[in-house]
Amino acid sequence: MILTVTLNTALDITYRVRSLRPHTSHRVSDVIERPGGKGVNVARVLAALGHEATVTGFAGGVTGRAIRDQLTGTSRLTDALVPVAGATRRTIAVVDQLSGDTTQLNEPGPQIEPAEWGAFLDRYDELLPSASAVALCGSLPPGVPVGAYANLVRRARSFGVPVLLDTSGEPLRRGVAARPDIIKPNADELAELTGSHEPLRATQDARRRGAHAVVASLGAGGLLAVTPEGRWRAAPPARLHGNPTGAGDSAVAGLLSGLVERLPWPDRLARAVALSAATVRATAAGEFDREVYEEMLERATVSAEFSAA
Amino acid sequence: MILTVTLNTALDITYRVRSLRPHTSHRVSDVIERPGGKGVNVARVLAALGHEATVTGFAGGVTGRAIRDQLTGTSRLTDALVPVAGATRRTIAVVDQLSGDTTQLNEPGPQIEPAEWGAFLDRYDELLPSASAVALCGSLPPGVPVGAYANLVRRARSFGVPVLLDTSGEPLRRGVAARPDIIKPNADELAELTGSHEPLRATQDARRRGAHAVVASLGAGGLLAVTPEGRWRAAPPARLHGNPTGAGDSAVAGLLSGLVERLPWPDRLARAVALSAATVRATAAGEFDREVYEEMLERATVSAEFSAA
């Protein structure tokens, strides 16, 4: 199985309103709830691709119960979340029916107590021996040490399990130093990590800081991968319109599934780009459209990158 | 005990953000959750005034469990909510830290099945014999018949229990025809019921439609009461600034507590105005400030209304 870690899981709630106008009252016409947090999204896409995926991290309160109830009903997904006293956060996406634009409200997440962090580490160590790969995803809730991901990268490496890290800020900086197999920053995260806004230069710098492979997601510019086996750029055939929510998580699922299937890097990247595009084009935020995926898998372009930096 | 009915209970969630800007992402700095829906608010104020209050209506899903857990912890409040398969709605109040203004998002509420409505009617009939008064408050969730309040008014009257109705639109129109003891419309609800925007004329018309007493809440204009014992206007000593959320529910609690304590109408109205003012001035939305209440109870003005309509 593939293990995904989401320390700050969320109950993702989508509201549809006619048009959001500050300081007025709105009747919500449509409410959708689903388990969220980046690693949970990654696991859902992996399961849809036919992989067994196990979700760990923290869940608590009635919101935690709601996400666990929904995870239990998803085939090929195993819930290995660790219970905590605090309540799992909610995120609210308010979608304007008129413009299609989204306004996002994100709760901070529960305070994690030291004993809860210890219980998580025990669970993680129990799960690692049966994992073919692990993804460490998203922000840290209050109370989790800032070096958490560095610790989790080292533990995965000590078990010989390949590890992908997808986070930002100081947790990314420390995590990279622990030598993860892959990191997948976006342009902003990469610039924050390296100080450089030139993607190829920044990507190479991130490798020098410890990441074995760096796959930078450059929005409409597709993916830039710098790996021990070579450098590639991968992109969809045309610029896509739609909702980018979860597109990065789908790309992570593409990279991880390609890794455990031992696909060559260009095929992993084509899959990541195709899944990402199929998520942007899906009707529901964070889902992926299988037809678009199949089509994009044929039509994505992956080209070797020769420019010197 | 005083019975309050809230068919569309809610988990009221308050978010504090720096400034709400549509189509951007916001980090919520502060999350407060409390049981809501108009009748629940009324019961909480009654309990704070020293009355035993019983809350009935519907609750379901994890949101329903959250409100029941919190109600159980409140002294002098009894939870007699009827479980339903659907989930209790949430309301989200987004408070701007900069301006203090609030943006409201209200979910529609769960679908109530005919068997659930039947179970509620049984519970209501069980509770009525021990009730000294009953308040029927707020909107109807989907699936509840539009004549629901008319039915509940008639049942209360058949048990000889005085009944206050606080709702709007067609449920109010039908409920009034069933001859409730008191209705407490605001200016808009009263105009919608009667077609008249002149408060005294509209209030008298509402009595002709079936309400024994009408207490119209006219915002900054205070209360206008037309009853079999006389007509009064009641107002706070000065215009108040603050958050009006729940002020109407506090007025209902003032009227009901005054009714069961057999206070004369002017004293009931002074209490309603004082509680309403103390709610507008409270730091947390929907709570009331006891010091302001005590002060306003001394300073509220109640005057007999002599003008002919």
Choose among B22, B25, B31: nearest Cβ to A22.
B22
B78: β partners: B54
Q: Which residues of A touch B31 (CB under 8 A)?
A: 107-108
CB contact under 8 A, B23 and A108: no
CB contact under 8 A, A102 and B23: yes
CB contact under 8 A, A23 and B106: no
Distance from CA of A200 to the nearest CA of B (A): 28
Among A129, A155, A226, A148, CA closest to A163: A155
Among A129, A123, A120, CA closest to A148: A120
- From the number of C-beta atoms within 10 Å of its C-beta (0-12, 13-18, 19+), residue A121 rates as middle
Query: Residue B191: what are its φ and ψ, rounded to 5°?
Result: -65, -40
Cα–Cα separations (whole angstroms), residue B61 to A93, B82, B87 = 21, 12, 4
Choose among B21, B66, B106: nearest Cβ to A25.
B106
Q: Which residue has the tokens 């900086």?
A: A173
Report, as residue numbers or ranges, the catalytic residues of A: 249
Interface of A with B in 270-299 (CB under 8 A): none
Interface of A with B in 69-108 (CB under 8 A): 92, 94, 96, 99, 101-108
A22 lies within 8 A of chain B by CB: yes
Distance CA(B108)–CA(A235), nearest Å, equals: 42
pLDDT for the residue B243: 73
Q: Which residues of B touch A21 (CB under 8 A)?
A: 22, 103
Q: Which residues of B touch A24 (CB under 8 A)?
A: 103-104
CB contact under 8 A, B106 and A65: no
B247-260 helix and B265-280 helix, angle to the nearest 10 degrees: 150
Among B21, B142, B64, B17, CA closest to A94: B21
CB contact under 8 A, B103 and A15: no
B14 lies within 8 A of chain A by CB: no
Between CA A140 and CA A151, with CA A146 as vertex, the angle to 5 degrees is 100
Q: Which residue has the tokens 């509840």?
A: B144
| DSSP states along A216-260 | EE-GGG-EEEEETTEEEEEE-SS---S--TTHHHHHHHHHHHHHH
A38-48 helix and A247-260 helix, angle to the nearest 10 degrees: 50
Distance CA(B271)–CA(B199), nearest Å, equals: 21
The encoded tokens of residue B86 equal 């659907």
Query: Residue A269: what are its φ and ψ, rounded to 5°?
Result: -70, -40
CB contact under 8 A, A23 and B65: no
Mutate: best of B16, B17, B18, B25, partner A, most A CBs <10 A: B25
Domains of chain A: 2-7+38-87+111-304 (3.40.1190.20)
Choose among B62, B65, B103: nearest Cβ to A23.
B103
pLDDT for the residue B225: 97
The encoded tokens of residue A250 equal 């789908």
pLDDT for the residue A309: 47
Distance CA(A176)–CA(B268), nearest Å, equals: 68
CB contact under 8 A, B108 and A65: no
Query: Residue B217: what are its φ and ψ, rounded to 5°?
Result: -95, 120
pLDDT for the residue A308: 54
Q: Which residues of B touch A62 (CB under 8 A)?
A: 62-63, 65-66
Give start and end residues of each alpha helix (H) in B49-145: 61-72, 114-127
The single-letter DSSP state of residue B181 is: S
Q: Given its phi and psi angles, is residue A220 left (phi above 0), alpha (psi -120 to 50 degrees) or beta?
A: alpha
A168 lies within 8 A of chain B by CB: no
Distance CA(B98)–CA(B82), nearest Å, equals: 40
Mutate: best of B16, B26, B62, B245, partner A, most A CBs <10 A: B62
Distance CA(B85)–CA(A248), nearest Å, equals: 36
User: Euclidean distance between the first and final Cα of chain A, in Å?
Assistant: 38
pLDDT for the residue B309: 47
Distance CA(B292)–CA(B300), nearest Å, equals: 11
Do β-strands B163-166 and B82-84 pair in parallel, antiparallel, or remain unpaired?
Answer: unpaired
Distance CA(B59)–CA(B83), nearest Å, equals: 5
Question: What averages of pLDDT result for each successive group of 10 residues across chain B (309 residues)?
Answer: 97 94 91 94 95 98 92 94 97 89 92 98 98 97 97 98 97 98 96 94 96 93 94 90 83 97 97 93 77 93 78
pLDDT for the residue A307: 64
Give start and end residues of each alpha helix (H) in B108-235: 114-127, 148-158, 169-177, 187-194, 199-208
Q: What is the pTM of this model?
A: 0.83
CB contact under 8 A, B22 and A106: no
A32 lies within 8 A of chain B by CB: no
| E strand residue ranges, B37-118 | 53-60, 77-79, 82-84, 89-96, 102-106
Choose among A23, A66, A106: nearest Cβ to B26.
A106
Q: Which residue has the tokens 């419309």?
A: B185
User: Euclidean distance between the first and final Cα of chain B, in Å?
Assistant: 38
Among B166, B190, B127, B200, CA closest to B175: B166
ipTM surpassing 0.85: no
CB contact under 8 A, A92 and B92: yes
Element (H, E) at B34: strand B30-36
pLDDT in tens, chain A (309 residues): 999 999 999 999 999 999 999 989 999 988 999 999 999 999 999 999 999 999 999 999 989 998 999 999 889 999 999 999 999 999 999 999 888 788 999 999 999 999 999 999 999 999 999 999 999 999 999 999 999 999 999 999 999 999 999 999 999 999 999 999 999 999 999 999 999 999 999 999 999 999 999 999 998 789 999 999 999 999 998 877 777 778 899 999 999 999 999 999 999 999 999 999 999 887 766 678 899 999 999 999 999 987 654
The encoded tokens of residue A10 equal 């969320």
Residue B188 bears catalytic tag: no
Distance CA(A243)–CA(A221), nearest Å, equals: 16
In chain A, the residue whose alpha carbon lies closest to the alpha carbon of B63 is A62
In chain A, the residue whose alpha carbon lies closest to the alpha carbon of B28 is A107
Distance from CA of A94 to the nearest CA of B (A): 9
